[in-house]
Amino acid sequence: MIQLPTELILQSLNALDFPSVLRCRQLNSAFKDLIDNDAALQYKIELAVDGMEDGPPSALLPAERLQLLRKHRAAWKAMRHTSTHNIPMSGGGVWELYGGVLAQGINPRGLAFTQLPSRLRGIPEKNWTLEDVGFKIRDFGMNPGEDLLVLIVKPPQDSTEYTIHLRSMTTGKPHPHAPKLAELKHIASARNYSFAIQTSGDYLGILFESADENDNELVVWNWKSGVVEMVLNVNTQSPFLFLSDRHVLVAYVHGLDSDEPRLLLKVFDFMSAPTTKTSCTDMPFVCEFALPRQHATSDIFAIALRSDPAPGWKPPASLSVPFHKARNERLFVLSIWFAGDGQIKPLLLFIPSFTLFRHIDRVGSGDDAIGRQVPWQDWGPEGTRILPVTIQHSSVWVCYVHGMSFVSIGGVNQGQATALNIFDFSPLALKKAKQEGQTAGDDERGFPKLVDKETHVGSNDMFEGRVATSLPFRLQGFNIPEDARDARAAMMSEDNLILVCSVGEYINLPSFSLGSARPDPPSIMLAHAARHVPHRAPTSLNSRSGQTFRAFYATIQSLRRSPSPAPVELDDIDPADNDFIMSVLRANPSLRDTQAYRAYFNLTPPPPPRKPVLQKEQSADPQLTTEVQPPDVASASPSPVIASILNPIHRRTALVKVQGPFTERQLESIARGMVFLEKLGLLSVIVVENNSIPKGEGGERSAIVEETMRVVTALEKQGARARPVLGAVVRLGPKPGDEEDPEPKDHAIPEAHTFPSDLVHIRSALRAGEIPVVPPLALDSFCRSIRIDSNDVVAALVRGMAEAAVLDGFGHQQKDGSEHVAPSDEIDLTPLRLMIINKEGGVPSYARSGLPHLLVNLTSEYTHIRETFDRQWKSSHPTSLSNLSLARTCLAYMPPTSSAVMVSHRSPSSLIANLITNKPAISSSLPHAMLQNNRTLTQDTPTLLRRGLPIRVIRSSQEIDKPKMKALLEQSFNRKLDEAAFWDRLDKCLDFVVIAGDYAGAAIVTNESNPSSSSSTFSPVAYLDKFAVLPSHQGDGTVDFLWVALHDESYGLGLPFSANPNGGKQGVGQGRDLVWRSRANNPVNKWYFERSTGHLRMGDWVLFWCDAEVRLKTEAGRCGNGGLSYLEDWEHGRMSVWADVVMKIPSSWNKIA
């Protein structure tokens, strides 16, 4: 390469990353000279050493940027100043410093902003004000890089629904990239909260901190789409920060009520987390970092977690800065205030990002991430630094860290601050300083310039025993000027050091603006602020943010609570198993799902059947009965308690098709998922396929057996017991008698079959607690073992195992309607799930531009999916249609509540979610626009398939089977129908009825006119009168199937993706706004909130509506980049019309005496 032209070599080197350039520099002297004398390459190297990233393209040449970078470095090293400036601060009560902008409240409804200057990086000082944002500001956050201002409004007196406004920092108007109305909503558990607000790129995190710590909630949104990514419920102090573009880091005290509380740092993947509120202990985590064991006599009083900037930070494009802090090099500062020896002591734990990611990267991300617990000795002693604080550490002025540096008051003499200390933990900068001899000896104050020896926290402090840490850092100090020596705290940004100083009744904020394009030293800027300006106190200290530490000493309370008596449990589950089960309830959207799972596997005795209770005040409007009326779990016979004790976990079976080829790493991930399913009570029967092994060639059988043994080995490496069943367990050809069966089938008959005697090896393996692994072999008519299509093997096993289970006494009801309980040593061979794991993932959908279907109703959608399958998908998803056919065949032999899932090997955790909830990863009935903008909907999102029900639409009340409709409504709502009035009303104003199956569910829509208005603008109103599903069909997907059909016939009409085979208009027509009402205390309202465009509270009622989507799309196209306004012209007056019409609709139920 050295023979190439110099220009070509330099061009190649400039395309490399920093480590590669350094390696090339070490090759020989020619490369070294070439790199050392090229400004662009030196700029790349010195950017990395200084922990910087290159800025956007501009007129500056690399050589000019390099000179600015060196001046920036020299300015931080010199720490000199020549002048001071005042930044007026008012008593507005809130403030924020982020991205080089200082913001403060000037009145309850207004904010003032100051952009701190940097002459070196070309950032001018700038001041502007938002006098009145239109409401009282409860709290706020900001991101200058996105011009984003986050404003929180306290809810009304009778509500706990918080509104988060997304505005432009510069104009105060709705942010152009925010969702419609530029608002986010969150229904919290209480009203009185303080907040911790953080942004990172497209994501917004808000910690709602209540006086009652059981109500603390961390919510993460994609603020640009409005989609909730994660809701974490924490019952103790839990500050958080964004760790990467998909991870959050949460600090919390585990076992607060126990005798041995433990401080932990947990990493959660919010991109794959459940979107319903999940406790910190139940939320699936990526890594858990344990801190040293706490001393028995010490109590944690408060904790804070800080880092700056966020991983998604970018400076505003308008500034065109030459460089900025790198987002992959960050220092996390964990501040711990603990009570011991009658006083409160602070400790600081410094954690560089690379220490955490060294372990996180071993786990992976997304659905491949499995919780990894990292003990302190594996990450802390060499990867962190713990320092006791000898001088007051502020709990209010908390912007003390930026990049890899931390600033604090470094010396106090007679109550006056005399020096500042800057701790630099950047490993590259430290290495360079060592090479240049800048770290030898002590500074003029006698402090070492380099600290690389162990520091110890003694046993009389917070931790039990002596804790040593040795993460090296550079210590730099400088004297504080005379006019700023009443400093109470120090803060920093990318270009500034800021001191918080008391002057009479004011606090000064001297800002040391570092760097200058001229050789003169940097300047100081002073600011006046009202005393006790609150910002973000550490968790549990927000309500005390204006107090001094003396007040803290007077209010010490032990965080340990008296342990409550342990409840008496009826089940006898091994504690380790129980903890595991609770920890993997990762996709639990509701309490009903958890109860259904636990009951199905008999983790707790099923409750006795409940008697229907008629309630006097019941909503007469549509209700989602799957949430309102969870199905009763039939009591078992013998006694439920005895059956539970004899059978703590019912073992169920699943058929799993592992469709390779897979690498060893991919097989490891799949095997781990199978092991976790086994722990949850689901025993897998695995059929192996490898599409890369040609059929009909020599050595075919040996290759497929070898592939089977690879799967067995992968399972055993994960601690499972696996048994290869290498002999054929199915027979080639249809089962005898199939061809004579006159009854037509809506599914393909398997091209192989099996008899109960053929399943002896599979049954034996399952009884022994082993996972049978089966190759795709079958016996032909000459009793030869030959390779056949794995789909035929899977279908034959599903059918054969279901039939064998019936012979074993499973799969049928007893006379009293209860489920048969078999002896504890028997295994129910009835397949509960079908899982197809391959590299393709789910079935692509034309409605989602090739992204997977979420939920498929095979009965009504199978033919339509095949007809709309794009030719281009045959190369990327060559087996999707054959697997779709396999699922339809298998589900025909499985119980009605069973499901099939087609999943990529990249999403093994979705198998656990499917087992527990039996629901798709993302609900298919959510608004289409939300699904399109949801980043969790990817090519790897699994497709859930249900046998489903036929869907039809009727438009005449005469076509309704009234007895069946009456039974459906009365069972769903548990009320008596006022038949005469109800049918008379439908005869007059029925628009259409969507019916699922044989009246398993129905959605009734009427046309409601407005007699008090002659205007036809909003009349007639499309009103959802009833939405009901039989209790027996809860959990089988009928709710989603029904809502999707309702969407296609009403507010979704007119768009291509509404042309579904639901027996209605096939997508042809004009969409209409859909309106309905619900009682304000209806627990189903949360489900409605997610699917509606908006809602209006009206006393005891909530009015919901879904806008016609085709009109929204037309209006959005008309407005272009301007976006929709708060209220468009065509919306004026419609809510008053809707409210007037809907509230006059009479009840459909008989009054209860």
| Domain count of the fold of the chain | 4
The residue that leads in pLDDT, 644 or 1114, is 1114
Q: What is the pLDDT of residue 615?
A: 38
- Domain assignment of residue 829, yes or no: yes
CA 518 to chain centre: 48
129-181: per-residue pLDDT in tens?
999 999 999 899 999 999 999 999 988 878 888 999 999 999 999 999 999 88
Q: What is the pLDDT of residue 984?
A: 93
Give me 794's structure tokens: 């899977």
Average pLDDT, the chain: 78
Helix (H, G, I), strand (E, B) or coil at 625: helix
Last residue of a domain, one of 946, 974, 990: 946
Q: Which amino acid is at 1062?
A: N
The residue that leads in pLDDT, 121 or 241, is 241
Helix (H, G, I), strand (E, B) or coil at 732: strand
The answer to whether residues 256 and 301 touch, using CB atoms and an 8 Å cutoff, is no
- Domain assignment of residue 277, yes or no: yes
Q: Concatenate the DSSP letters of all residues of 1084-1112 into one string.
A: THHHHHHHSSEEEEETTEEEEEE--HHHH
Q: Concatenate the DSSP letters of all residues of 693-714 into one string.
A: S-TTSTTHHHHHHHHHHHHHHH
Same domain, 883 and 958: no
Question: Which value, in Å, is the radius of gyration of the alpha carbons in the chain?
Answer: 33
Same domain, 931 and 988: no
Burial class of 180 by CB neighbour count within 10 A (0 to 12, 13 to 18, 19+) = middle
CA distance linking residue 494 with residue 101, whole number of Å: 11
Q: What is the mean predicted confidence (pLDDT) over 243-265?
A: 85
Check whether 1120 has a pLDDT greater than 80.
no
The answer to whether residues 476 and 421 touch, using CB atoms and an 8 Å cutoff, is yes
- Tell me phi and psi for residue 1047, to 5 degrees: -60, -45
Neighbours of 78 (CB within 10 A): 13
Looking at residue 1138, which CATH number applies to its domain?
Answer: 3.40.630.30
Check whether 552 has a pLDDT greater than 80.
no
Give me 357's structure tokens: 């990611």
DSSP H or E run through 251: strand 247-254
Tokens 């109800």 identify what position? 982
Looking at residue 747, which CATH number applies to its domain?
Answer: 3.40.1160.10
The residue that leads in pLDDT, 504 or 691, is 691
With cut-offs at 50, 70 and 90, classify the pLDDT of residue 1014: low
Most confident of 203-217, 653-667, 738-752, 1064-1078: 653-667
The answer to whether residues 659 and 748 touch, using CB atoms and an 8 Å cutoff, is no
Give me 160's structure tokens: 């706990």
Residue % of the chain over a pLDDT of 90:
32
The residue that leads in pLDDT, 520 or 463, is 463
CA distance linking residue 1020 with residue 1141, whole number of Å: 9
Out of 784-798, 859-873, 1059-1073, pick the least confident. 1059-1073
- Domain assignment of residue 659, yes or no: yes
- Domain assignment of residue 620, yes or no: no
Q: What is the pLDDT of residue 969?
A: 93
List, in order, residues 6 or more apart from 354 with CB less than 8 Å away.
329, 427
Same domain, 982 and 928: no
Same domain, 858 and 989: no
Give me 945's structure tokens: 């398939």
Last residue of a domain, one of 903, 930, 946: 946
Give me 276's structure tokens: 């319903």
- Domain assignment of residue 1151, yes or no: no
The answer to whether residues 169 and 148 touch, using CB atoms and an 8 Å cutoff, is yes
Domain that holds residue 1056: 951-1142
Same domain, 942 and 965: no
CA distance linking residue 813 with residue 819, whole number of Å: 5
Burial 292-315 (b: 16+ CB within 10 A, else e): bebbeebbbbbbbbbbbbbbbbbb
Same domain, 851 and 929: yes
User: Any bridge partners for residue 388, and if so which?
Assistant: 347
Last residue of a domain, one of 926, 946, 966: 946
Same domain, 839 and 922: yes
Check whether 1132 has a pLDDT greater than 80.
no
Q: What is the pLDDT of residue 298?
A: 76
Same domain, 327 and 469: yes
- Domain assignment of residue 83, yes or no: no
Same domain, 1069 and 936: no
Same domain, 337 and 236: yes
- Domain assignment of residue 1069, yes or no: yes
The residue that leads in pLDDT, 730 or 1068, is 730
To the nearest 10°, report the CA torsion of 161, 166, 167, 168: 160
Same domain, 262 and 313: yes
- Domain assignment of residue 638, yes or no: no
What is the chain's length?
Answer: 1153
Q: What is the pLDDT of residue 431?
A: 86
Q: What is the mean predicted confidence (pLDDT) over 93-106?
A: 87
Same domain, 326 and 242: yes
